[in-house]
Structure 1
Amino acid sequence: FPYLSQMAYSPDGAFIAVYAQHAAKKLSTVTILRADSGESIAQMEMTDTFFHRLDWLDAQTVALSTRDNILVFPVQQPENAYWVFDENSPIYAYYEHIQIVDW
């Protein structure tokens, strides 16, 4: 069964970001809900990726961090989600191991 790992209200209180994990299926789900109605307005599923932290960057953008990268998730345009560091980023060439502790 999936379990709720994290949730956070947007800075303006209009949305709730919910992050759930399903460890057996190696599946992560991020869902954005309207705070006033609970209606789902955006969702993204990813396999083999577990997030450690969920934060709102502003009222329209969620950031989720893994141990070595950050996924930026625009609420109104989830198809435009992107990783801060791509696999060819020079930061990976400089450091053998990366761990994001705080940002």
Structure 2
Amino acid sequence: MKSYTPGHQSDDHSVIPSRRDFLKVAGGGFGALAFSAMVAGESSAAIHHPARAKRVIQIFCPGGMSQVDTFDYKPELEKRAGQPFDPDGKLQFFASKPGNCQPS
């Protein structure tokens, strides 16, 4: 017979957790809810001015450079600036072919 380990996810649904394991997992969740309620009261009192934003614009750029690529200095990118990105010549692309290498 297989044993149940709390926090371990398995595809085998024949293992049933014990009552003690269930209460351990559920109790942790209720403790987190209680803690968030306690902290929420303290954090809302610390705001010194009301929020003025009425709208938010979220821009998603698939394929855009990440903050790591834009701020870290990479001398190899300076050498390869403008060359096409294809390290081995064997890459297969799902959506579109990437552009040329950009310097940092």
Higher-helix-fraction structure: 2
Instruction: With the length of structure 1 as denominator, give the TM-score of the two structures.
Output: 0.20
Instruction: With the length of structure 2 as denominator, give the TM-score of the two structures.
Output: 0.20
Larger-Rg structure: 2
